Chains A and B, each alone.
Chain A
Amino acid sequence: MLDFLKGPVQAMQDFVAIAGKAGKNVFRSPHYARDILLQMDSIGVGSLPVVILTGFFTGAVMAMQLARALSTYGATGQVAPVLCITLVRELGPVLTALMVSGRNAAGIASELGSMKVTEQIDAMRALGTDPIQKLVTPRLIATATMLPLLTIISDLMGMFGGFVVSEGMLNMAPAQYWNTAWKALEYNDVVQGILKPFVFAIIISLVGCYFGMQTTGGTQGVGRSTTQAVVVSSIWIIVTTFFIGRIFLNLS
């Protein structure tokens, strides 16, 4: 009767199993330092251009729209603080994570997926290596360290984008822009702004690895896993940001 639930429940079990092992491996040797560094480079440095561009233009667009909306209330001076809070709390983490998800959840799933269908993952196990330790844990560690950093960069770029627009369109004094923005930030916002990308990083890397490692059906299967990884990790990012936001609202 509940047959239709069997698939999702099984998938969830497998996912939790991989996540559990990968998490445990973080605190256990061997650590493949070279793989961690390689992944940090590919995820962190590789995503930099995309994150800088989206960050900058998000800030610029937001400032433009905010200026228009706030001018109705004669409150254009509030552009910087409102922009800053929205960026740090929500837009910075979520947009960066979505970009990195499109780039890296896909990249991870297709890389591990090709390894799965060409039996490289089986070969690892046959030749004395734990694929979770060698493939999943380095990606988890690398994403979890790089995504918060990328988010901070994206936040700063967003503020800079907003600044360029405010300067150009609103003739606001630079010192006033940065001062009001800085003062608007509370401890709570910053914690949230760092915690979110950390959680999103875990989602992106583990979802990417999970779909990669369970790929079947040759090259076609790799394409399927890649798409699924991006869709599922993006959805989870949006859903969890809501719940984290909700928890923090209760706290403050």
Chain B
Amino acid sequence: MTEDSNQPVLRFENVSVHYEDVAALDGISFEMRRGETRILLGASGSGKTVLLKTAVGLVRAGAGRVLVFGRDITALSEGELFDIRGRIGFLFQEGGLFDSLTIDENVSYPLVNQRGAKPEKPDAIENRVRETLRFVELEQTLEQYPSELSGGMRRRVGIARAVVTEPELVLYDSPTAGLDPITANTIIALIVKERDTRNAAAMMATHRYQDGQLMANYRYNPHSGDLERASSNGAEENGLKTIFMVLQEGRLAFEGTEEELKAADDPYVSKFVKR
């Protein structure tokens, strides 16, 4: 990990992905830096999931280049991709929890299976899993199966599994989809807490503008253990910028700060703000 800190963690160069006749992604370009937060807004079917999966090589770019930590992953084999994926956390929209495994086994899965993630001592895994589950406030569910948990709890286990290896970049695919507003806010609070505790770069896909607002304007205060409103310039000083992106039918319709988003006059883009 000797890469210089100015290097983008993620860079898309004119990336396109096609499924038969539909363009799921159409000429997407952007660059994401270390410690940055990105909010990926878009209607259902606009390509959010495909974009996130392309970033880790789960979906192959049909055209263009994807660079992760400065490395072009477009031509890498599945085996070579495992190294890159070990440095990225991924929360799946549909959960992706293994329902034949307990919560404990689910959360320890990346520690056991991911290349370079395995600690030397076996009890190091156990401690790490407990610590991470405590972080999402689900330590008591260790021996349970995903089917025994509520939707919101499963999402939190998903977050625990995504961050248990302390990845440099975490991708959250629609973490609030299908949840009631109160549970949704606790999930976002958790994501903010995770981001601010480790300063990892985070990209979050969502169709709810409120999720993005929370991410952009709130900080986790380790002393009080709560979220608090950040003064906008203070956040800028820390280099913790939040960038919004809006996807429309596979094309990047907008990229910019919250102020720019509010000022946008494109009807599709401003639809996300006015609600």
Contact = CB atoms under 8 A, between A and B. Distances in A.
Given A119-B93, A122-B58, A122-B92, A128 B99 contact: no
A217 B185 CA distance: 29
A129 B113 CA distance: 7
A126 B96 CA distance: 10
A127 B53 contact: no
Contacts of B88: 126
A122 B95 CA distance: 10
A127 B114 contact: yes
B113 A127 contact: yes
A123 B96 CA distance: 6
Nearest to A117: B94
B175 interface: no
A124 B251 CA distance: 29
B54 to A, nearest CB: 12
B78 A130 contact: yes
B85 interface: yes
Contacts of B117: 128
Interface in B127-182: 161
A124 B82 CA distance: 11
A128 B110 contact: yes
A128 B114 contact: yes
B96 A122 contact: yes
Interface string B94-106: 1111110000000
Contacts of A118: 94-97, 99
Contacts of A128: 82, 85-86, 110, 113-115, 117
Nearest to A129: B113
Interface in B104-128: 109-110, 113-115, 117
B96 A119 contact: yes
Contacts of B109: 127
B98 A120 contact: yes
A11 B32 CA distance: 37
A127 B117 CA distance: 10
Contacts of B94: 117-119
A68 interface: no
Contacts of A120: 96-99
A33 to B, nearest CB: 15
A178 to B, nearest CB: 45
Interface in B44-95: 53, 56, 58, 78, 82, 85-86, 88, 90, 92-95
A119 B95 contact: yes
A126 B90 contact: yes
A110 B90 CA distance: 25
Interface in A120-155: 120, 122-130
A124 B92 CA distance: 11
Contact of A125 (B58, B97, B98, B161): B58
A119 B95 CA distance: 7
Contacts of A130: 78
8 contacts: A118-B95, A120-B98, A123-B98, A125-B58, A125-B78, A126-B90, A127-B109, A128-B115
Interface of B: 53, 56, 58, 78, 82, 85-86, 88, 90, 92-99, 109-110, 113-115, 117, 161
The 7 A-B residue pairs with the shortest CB-CB distance, nearest first, are: A123-B96, A128-B114, A119-B96, A119-B92, A128-B113, A119-B94, A127-B110
Interface of A: 117-120, 122-130
